[in-house]
């Protein structure tokens, strides 16, 4: 299979992604580098895996990637309920472990299916569209800001939802107006998880609606997130031990730092660069990407170039040596986002855009 690589970094490898994948989907967790089948599967992870494989296929057009995409899309079809909602957790025995999945898993599945519908061959695209057509009736019911941001981002690839996009984007703007202060440019009084999807959602709303309010807020909160996340030139994403409150000045949560935060920040930088052509977003993305390769607070590689796995993050004791689905997919998505940014920059220079 053809490969892509970024100069100075390892070649992109799907070895660990495939290691975690069976004929049904991608296993949620690993024990060190071994798939932990007891943890079963999630829609969250299979949606992310679908996004990785279709994005990669859109670059190199290798059939092996479509075979993986069919597995992950098949999983989403399996968890799709008759009423258009989805399950999230499925046991290794393929038994549903919930009545209805989280709003975030709904949003991630929508984004992955929307991208797949937009780029994949027709046999895959039509299945993705049928899923989207059944999901879209619930879009206005979604409350989670991150899930809404996934829906806004997905709608850049699935334009049957423009009126709904306007409704959701206005709700996000109202959250920002209620929470933002001079020293806190964010939609909530804390930084939680998967923070990069929030500016990406605003920027996506701008791309669809061409309303500069969403562009201004999207760039403002991305710049705020960057200022918060970099310490002495090192990317230090918010830890998940507790969330950082802006109200009472509690100490910054340093651990656990997870690959998901790096990936979502880089994706936001990619979209910002695509809109503004400002090189600062490439520099921010590259500096964040180096978190995987030792430019972090413990000075150790989170991505393992030998096993092609990505560790589950950095905790107060060092590396978390497990290497589950979310982590490797986050690394792969970050890699693809950086590659896309650098490719776009080269094309802009050749075409005299900048």
Query: Which range marks the domain in which residue 226 is found?
Result: 15-349
Quick check: is 10 in a domain? no
Residue 350 pLDDT > 80, yes or no? no
What is the helix (H) or strand (E) element at residue 146, kind and residue range? helix 145-154
The CATH number of residue 228's host domain is 1.50.10.10
For residue 263, what are the CA distances in angstroms to 96, 137, 267, 307, 337? 29, 29, 6, 20, 8
Reference 225, options 213, 235, 233, 240; nearest CA is 235
pLDDT in tens, 38-75: 999 999 999 999 999 999 999 999 999 999 999 999 99
Specify the pLDDT at position 160. Answer: 85
**pLDDT tens digits along 245-293:** 554 445 677 889 999 999 999 999 999 999 999 999 999 999 999 999 9
H or E stretch including 41? Answer: strand 34-42
Question: What are the tens digits of pLDDT across the range 155-201?
Answer: 999 988 888 999 999 999 999 999 999 999 999 998 999 999 999 99
Confidence of residue 2 (pLDDT cuts 50, 70, 90): confident
pLDDT in tens, 81-134: 999 999 999 999 999 999 999 999 999 999 999 999 999 999 999 999 999 999
Q: Tell me the C-alpha distance between 43 and 87, whole Å.
A: 7
pLDDT at 240: 80
Helix H or strand E segment including 271? helix 259-276
Q: What is the pLDDT of residue 162?
A: 84
314-327 average pLDDT score: 97
3 lies in some domain = no
Sole residue written with tokens 């994949």 = 120
pTM of the model: 0.96
Range in 1-5, 81-85, 234-238 with the lowest mean pLDDT = 1-5
How far is residue 171 from each of residues 92, 141, 148, 282, measured CA to CA in Å?
38, 12, 9, 29
Structural domain contains residue 8: no
CA distance 333 to 350: 26
Q: How many domains does the chain have?
A: 1
Give CA–CA dist 201/58, Å, rounded. Answer: 22
Per-residue confidence (pLDDT) for residue 242, from 0 to 100: 61
How far is Cα 132 from Cα 112, in angstroms, rounded to an integer? 10
Per-residue pLDDT tens over the stretch 289-308: 999 999 999 999 999 999 99
Q: Is residue 34 part of a domain?
A: yes
* Structural domain includes residue 1: no
Q: Would you say residue 6 lies in a domain?
A: no
Which helix (H) or strand (E) segment holds residue 90: the answer is strand 89-90
Number of Cβ within a 10 Å radius of residue 236:
18
pLDDT of residue 309: 99
Q: Positive or negative, the Cα torsion across 305, 311, 315, 317?
A: negative
Per-residue DSSP letters for 162-228? Answer: HHHHHHHHHHHHHHHHHH-BTTB-SSSSEE-SSTTHHHHHHHHHHHHH--HHHHHHHHHHHHHHHHH
The contacts of residue 277 (CB under 8 Å, 6+ apart) are: 348, 353, 354
Which pair of tokens denotes residue 291?
A: 């978190």
318 assigned to some structural domain: yes
Give a yes or no: residue 275 inside a domain: yes
Q: Mean of the pLDDT values across residues 307-318? A: 97
pLDDT, one tens digit per residue, over 214-228 is 999 999 999 999 999
What does each C-alpha distance from 143 to 14, 43, 155, 205, 209 come to in angstroms? 34, 19, 17, 17, 21
- How many helices and strands (H and E) does the chain possess? 12, 11
């Amino acid at each position: 299979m053809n490969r892509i690589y970024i100069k100075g970094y390892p070649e992109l490898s799907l070895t660990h992604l495939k290691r975690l994948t069976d004929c049904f989907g991608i296993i949620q967790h690993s024990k060190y580098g071994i798939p932990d089948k007891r943890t079963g599967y999630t829609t969250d992870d299979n949606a992310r895996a679908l996004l990785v494989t279709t994005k990669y296929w859109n670059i190199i057009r290798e059939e092996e990637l479509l075979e993986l995409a069919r597995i992950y899309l098949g999983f989403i079809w399996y968890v799709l309920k008759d009423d258009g909602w989805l399950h999230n957790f499925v046991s290794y025995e393929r038994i549903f472990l919930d009545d209805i999945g989280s709003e975030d898993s709904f949003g991630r599945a929508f984004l992955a299916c929307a991208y797949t519908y937009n780029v994949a061959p027709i046999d895959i695209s039509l299945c993705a569209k049928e899923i989207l057509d059944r999901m879209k009736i619930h879009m206005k019911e979604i409350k989670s800001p991150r899930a809404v941001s996934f829906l806004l981002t997905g709608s850049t690839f699935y334009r049957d939802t423009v009126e709904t996009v306007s409704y959701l984007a206005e709700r996000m703007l109202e959250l920002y107006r209620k929470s933002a202060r001079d020293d806190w440019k964010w939609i909530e009084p804390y930084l939680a998880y998967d923070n990069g999807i929030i500016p990406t959602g605003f920027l996506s709303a701008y791309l669809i609606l061409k309303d500069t309010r969403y562009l201004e807020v999207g760039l403002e909160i991305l710049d705020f997130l960057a200022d918060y996340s970099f310490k002495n030139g090192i990317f230090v994403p918010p830890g998940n031990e507790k969330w950082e409150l802006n109200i009472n000045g509690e100490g910054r949560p340093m651990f656990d730092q997870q690959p998901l935060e790096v990936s979502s920040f880089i994706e936001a930088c990619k979209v910002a660069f695509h809109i503004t052509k400002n090189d600062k977003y490439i520099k921010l993305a590259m500096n964040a990407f180096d978190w995987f390769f030792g430019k972090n607070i413990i000075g150790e590689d989170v991505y393992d170039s030998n096993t092609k796995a990505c560790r589950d993050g950095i905790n107060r004791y060092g590396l978390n040596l497990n290497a589950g689905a979310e982590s490797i997919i986050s690394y792969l998505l970050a890699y693809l986002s950086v590659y896309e940014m650098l490719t776009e920059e080269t094309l802009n220079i050749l075409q005299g855009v900048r």
